[in-house]
Amino acid sequence: MCGICGVYDYDNAIDHELFERMVDVVAYRGPDDRGTFYGEGIALGHRRLAIIDLSDEGHQPFRYRNRYHLVYNGEIYNYVELREQLQKKGYVFATKTDTEVLAAMYDCYGENCVKQMNGMWAFAVFDEQKKILFCSRDRFGIKPFYYYQEEKKLIFASEIKQIVLMAQKDMYVNRQRLLDFLIMGDLDHTEETMFRDIRQLRGGYNLIVDMQNGVCIRKKYYDLGETVFGKQSYKAACREFHKLFEKSVKLRLRADVPIGYCLSGGLDSSAIVCMADTILKSGGKEIKQHTISACCDDKEYDEQEYIDEVVRHTRVDAHKIFPKEEELFAHLDEIIWHMDEPFGSTSMFAQWNVFRCAGEQGLTVMLDGQGADEQLAGYTDFYSVALAHFLRHFRLLTFARELHAYCKSRRVSEKYVSAFDVIANAVVSAFVPDGLKKYVRRKLKYGCKDLPFPEKMIEETLQRRKRYDVGNPRQYSLDRMQCSMAALLHYEDRNSMAFSIESRVPFLDYRLAECIYSMPISYKVRNGMTKAVMRDGLTGILPDKIRHRVSKLGFVTPEDKWINNNFEKYRAEVLQACEQLKPVVNQKRVMEWFDKNAHGIKRGDYLAWRLICAGHWIQIYKVKFE
């Protein structure tokens, strides 16, 4: 895990002093080493966090065969196997790094090299002979890649703040993306960012610059949606999930530095901890494992009961932190600066504290459970997806059984979600003609009722927003991965890198993702339980208390109670945010809404926080409205 940046300018000389500052503004992403390369019309920069082969041989920009210059952020987990493959083709390696393997892969296979790699990455290769700059981002966008483009000029970086510094221009708000965030909570759901002129390379894309003529093109190299659907039995699917999940975790244990685990007590993080424990012990490695958990004194928001069960099962060395509301605003501006953009809820503050504790414990790599909910139907709305699917295909007995099981399980798991909305959404998706769905959804204003924005603004936001098709389970899962998961990966990257930690996400091994995607929804939502194939596939690995739990929290904070119990404090923050957001927010309307709901904010009502966070973001980055 590192920080990369680069500038290509066809017509103008590159300011070396400014570029050096661009490299170092994210020194926390790579405290172990730094390097720069300057060529004709191009500059490349790198900050290194050493994970594999800690020697100086991993220095970047990495020069290969006196032709290529590589800057690279991420890990190629199957680099050992790829190196052996390349050696059979006659390649000789001077280092033990995955960086050299990546350079050799590009030399051997060109832009198709990424199709054979299993990992997470954002990298750029400058080919001196062909005068080509080849850039790539991993399949699911785990590692960030931002760019700013003018005619015959490109600036790219791991973080937006690097581009803001190098561009030396006023930055303007992307109004549409800001409104998407304020009204719907959407972030990173398109290639656009909240900075009008800065974009991100989406996961599964390459960016190629022909430096001889200044032409820059994007090419898609991966699409999960093209995966062939499987036809295996449920028991066979459980076995396949187990096998691929084990392989994924095992690959992500490759490191020459200490590894730890984010443990919330939920299914996903518990599965990773327990599988890693099984792998290490079966290999005869009695290495003490460390977990970091965010806990809460309020039992309604606390998962220590389940965290402790995993700790008893694995005997890991557990570390617990208790995020405090009084510390939130002390760190808020620092967190937003690291995030580059506002974040949607204070749960990110809990995650921030988890990685801060990991850093204090000397852990350089952390494994986390991002990506499981989107693939394995872990969110409540997947019940609507499953029910709609059963109705559409006239599987009425299955529909009745699953509806009964859901209503029974939600008594202890989904107290804050309307069962009526879940069922109504399924019925609308199953029976309302496609031509009328947009009208019905606009009238219902899913998730937008009683918001302090003009109806026209809400309607326009809903029309811009990609509407997930609840009636198509595979497409719905794919859309969630491409949209809502992107924001979670954004937060994961920034929170971990703020403390010079590499975060790895085993559920986003592409082989595992393709296996899960090919499964029918009935393998995921089953007997009123989500993630069924994982629960049954990990029998004997996960403690039964975890396998059978139906409640869901995650690294959550009592945000609603913090606001309700500190009315004047948060009112002042919302008022100040309105001042910063005047061009898109009606202060009178917002304050009337806040005063009406101040002592009745419910769990999941994040608008007040989104306003506060966006207001701070405007101030920190001095972004202007136009």
In order of 142, 251, 558, the CA distances from 279 in angstroms are 24, 11, 36
What is the residue whose two structure tokens read 């975060």? 503
Q: Which of 315, 239, 318 is nearest to 277 (CA)?
A: 315
Residues 124 and 206: their CA atoms lie apart, in Å, by 10
Task: Judge contact between 266 and 369, C-beta under 8 A.
Answer: yes
CA 567 to chain centre: 32
Count of C-beta atoms within a 10 Å radius of residue 170: 11
CA–CA gap between residue 492 and residue 131 (Å, rounded)? 35
Distance of CA 59 to the CA centre of its chain: 27
Asked if the bond preceding 31 is cis, omega within 30° of 0, the reply is no
Other residues' Cβ atoms within 10 Å of the Cβ of residue 486: 22
Closest C-alpha to 33, from 68, 1, 80: 1
d(CA 502, CA 500): 7
Task: Give me the residue label for tokens 């208390």.
Answer: 545
CA atoms within 13 A on the CB side of 230: 20
Do 165 and 25 form a contact (C-beta atoms < 8 A)?
yes
As a whole number of angstroms, the distance between CA 553 and CA 610 comes to 20
Q: Which two tokens stand for residue 93?
A: 């390696």
Neighbour-count burial for 39-59, b at 16+ CB within 10 Å, e otherwise:
eebbbbbbbbbbbbeeeeebb
Token representation of residue 375:
């693939």
Beta bridge partners of 173: 195
Q: Which residue has the tokens 């820059």?
A: 216
Q: Evaluate whether 134 touches 106 at the Cβ level (below 8 Å).
A: yes
- On whether the CB atoms of residues 94 and 100 are closer than 8 A, the answer is yes
The β-bridge relationship of strands 317-321 and 365-367 is unpaired
Q: Is 613 part of the annotated catalytic residue set?
A: no
Task: Provide, for the chain, the percentages of residues in helix, strand and coil under a 3-state DSSP scheme, each rounded to the nearest 5.
Answer: 50, 15, 35
Catalytic hit among 2, 5, 483, 578? 2
Alpha-carbon distance 542 to 550, whole Å?
14
- Phi then psi dihedrals of residue 581, to 5 deg: -105, 20
Pairing of strands 62-64, 68-76: antiparallel
Please identify every residue annotated as catalytic.
2
